[in-house]
């Protein structure tokens, strides 16, 4: 077994040795799984020495040297107090975190942040339910950064993250990792993201050779590294399960159970769960994984009705593509995501759109991970303004400026409809959702109206 690399860290705000010793003595030993042998705790070369050599491509971005040398204080970040709004200034966050918030241009908390952060920052387990695009990721990332900066251990081993974020899909995990790097930009905290479909050895080297503060992972790839003993979770102080209901739907719960068992027991770690919905099965697991959690629910109508203009057209299946071309030509969307339920349908739609002169890209499960990353980058950069996607893009993909969402086929699950149209109407902007309803789609309308608690108006297109 490899020797884990030791790094001694000194911080001005770290607790005294006596307090740290007392804190450690209160920790109970966490039983390891039967198939996981004991680890070698021998000290190796300091982490600073191990960092020499070729840097990793996915190493967290650091501010440029001249930017790090620039002076900054909280007085440089002035935000007016507004009745009814919570400023990040009001939360008592460390200055290094506030500087990252300032850099990203955030000023006021979203509702889910304003209601969940005060308790979460005090260390309370928290359950947050809110729709996509409402700032859930920033809520748990800020909680993690506050915890890790408040209590800094004197020595660290590689392969032992202090915070773990588990997300169901590669795209969501990578987006969370990117968000975490932005907020942690000035904190000195390291963020490492491990997902399937990417370079395994490169991710493995990062876990073994570097001290990782925040680990973002998909369940399958994390289990792989646990089995190979390249990562150990018994030092996790904050555990985040993002989109837990989606993980249940995708069959990941057995893996997630094993992951949770490998972290310290509840009560010795802080547990945060955020999702757009929590079904019955997930609620049962919440009771097993948390201690007296604060439950925050932000009603979904804010996304589906207030900021999105929903248009539903009654058309035959053969008329859909013509209506799609007409919508694109007349609406001239700034950015549009076209959703369909099947991979073959999205592939055919993308090909037909390109043949008709519309520059479109495909995002579905059959597209390789590297190509999916490039597709999202081109879409974000505005190089291509039309993306045809399955529901792999329905959750957790943050792209600013999506003006239109087109449901070429309605999803069978009403929740997926909400997640789809949540790609537009973000950050207070108005968005447009266009849905084509044929005979094959009409059977899902009753459940959709019941879920939205509103009557949907269906119209015939004007030819």
The verdict on 288 and 313 lying in the same domain is: no
Query: How confident is the model at residue 396, as a pLDDT?
Result: 55
Last residue of a domain, one of 297, 320, 349: 297
The verdict on 280 and 314 lying in the same domain is: no
What is the mean pLDDT for each group of 10 consecutive residues in the chain (463 residues)? 39 36 36 40 34 36 57 90 92 95 93 95 94 86 96 87 94 92 95 91 90 95 95 96 80 88 96 84 86 87 64 92 93 92 91 93 79 84 90 67 92 85 72 92 90 86 73
Tokens describing residue 216: 């973002």
The verdict on 229 and 324 lying in the same domain is: no
Query: How confident is the model at residue 27, as a pLDDT?
Result: 37
Last residue of a domain, one of 268, 297, 326: 297
Query: How confident is the model at residue 146, as a pLDDT?
Result: 97
Give the range of the structural domain holding residue 378, as residue numbers without chain letter.
301-459
Q: Tell whether 340 is covered by a domain.
A: yes
Q: How many domains does the chain have?
A: 2
Q: Tell whether 19 is covered by a domain.
A: no
Q: Tell whether 16 is covered by a domain.
A: no
Q: Tell whether 30 is covered by a domain.
A: no
The verdict on 270 and 332 lying in the same domain is: no
The verdict on 226 and 313 lying in the same domain is: no
Query: How confident is the model at residue 301, as a pLDDT?
Result: 47
The verdict on 331 and 185 lying in the same domain is: no
Report the CATH number at residue 157.
3.40.50.300
Q: Tell whether 206 is covered by a domain.
A: yes
3-state secondary structure at position 110:
coil
Q: Which residue from 257, 260, 164, 270 is spatially nearest to 217, judged by alpha carbons?
A: 164
* Residue 298 CB burial class (10 angstroms; 0-12, 13-18, ≥19): buried
Q: Tell whether 271 is covered by a domain.
A: yes
The verdict on 156 and 268 lying in the same domain is: yes
Radius of gyration in angstroms for the set of CA atoms belonging to the chain, rounded to a whole number: 23
Query: How confident is the model at residue 106, as a pLDDT?
Result: 93
The verdict on 235 and 377 lying in the same domain is: no
Sequence-ordered list of residues with C-beta below 8 angstroms from that of 383, at least 6 positions apart, any chain:
none
The verdict on 141 and 241 lying in the same domain is: yes
Q: Tell whether 26 is covered by a domain.
A: no
Last residue of a domain, one of 238, 262, 297: 297
């Amino acid at each position: 077994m490899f020797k884990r690399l030791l790094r001694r860290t000194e911080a001005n705000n770290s607790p005294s040795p006596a307090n740290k010793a007392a804190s450690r003595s209160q920790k109970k030993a966490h039983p390891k799984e039967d198939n996981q042998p004991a680890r070698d705790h021998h000290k190796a070369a300091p982490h600073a020495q191990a960092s020499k050599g070729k840097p990793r491509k996915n190493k967290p971005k650091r501010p440029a040297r001249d930017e790090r040398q620039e002076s900054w204080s909280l007085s440089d970040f002035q935000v007016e107090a507004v009745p009814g709004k919570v400023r990040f200034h009001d939360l008592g966050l460390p200055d290094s975190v506030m500087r990252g918030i300032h850099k990203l241009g955030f000023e006021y908390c979203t509702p889910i942040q304003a209601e969940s952060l005060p308790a979460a920052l005090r260390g309370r387990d928290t359950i947050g339910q809110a729709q996509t695009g409402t700032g859930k990721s920033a809520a748990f990332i800020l909680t993690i950064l506050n915890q890790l900066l408040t209590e800094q251990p004197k020595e660290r081993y590689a392969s032992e993250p202090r915070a773990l974020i588990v997300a169901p899909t590669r795209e969501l995990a990578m987006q969370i990792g990117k968000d975490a790097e932005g907020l942690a930009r000035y904190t000195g905290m390291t963020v490492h993201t491990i997902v399937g479909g990417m370079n395994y050895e490169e991710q493995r080297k990062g876990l073994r050779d570097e001290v990782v503060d925040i680990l973002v992972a998909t369940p399958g790839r994390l289990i792989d590294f646990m089995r190979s003993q390249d990562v150990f979770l018994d030092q996790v102080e904050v555990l985040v399960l993002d989109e837990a209901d989606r993980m249940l739907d995708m069959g990941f719960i057995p893996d997630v159970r094993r992951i949770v068992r490998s972290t310290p027991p509840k009560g010795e770690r802080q547990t945060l769960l955020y999702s757009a919905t929590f079904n019955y099965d997930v609620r049962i697991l919440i009771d097993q994984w948390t201690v007296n959690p604060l439950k925050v629910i932000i009603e979904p109508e804010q996304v589906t009705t207030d900021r999105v203009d929903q248009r539903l057209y009654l058309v035959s299946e053969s008329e859909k593509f013509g209506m799609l071309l007409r919508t694109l030509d007349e609406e001239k969307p700034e950015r549009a995501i076209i959703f369909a339920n099947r991979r073959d349908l999205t592939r055919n739609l993308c090909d037909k759109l390109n043949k008709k002169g519309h520059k479109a890209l495909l995002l579905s499960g059959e597209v390789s991970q590297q190509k999916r990353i490039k597709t999202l980058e081109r879409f974000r950069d505005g190089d291509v303004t039309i993306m045809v996607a399955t529901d792999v893009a329905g959750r957790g993909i943050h792209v600013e400026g999506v003006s239109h969402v087109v449901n070429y086929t309605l999803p069978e699950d009403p929740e997926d409809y909400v997640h789809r149209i949540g790609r537009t109407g973000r950050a207070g902007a108005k968005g447009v959702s266009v849905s084509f309803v044929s005979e094959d789609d009409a059977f899902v309308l009753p459940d959709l109206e019941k879920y939205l608690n509103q009557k949907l108006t269906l119209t015939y297109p004007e030819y």
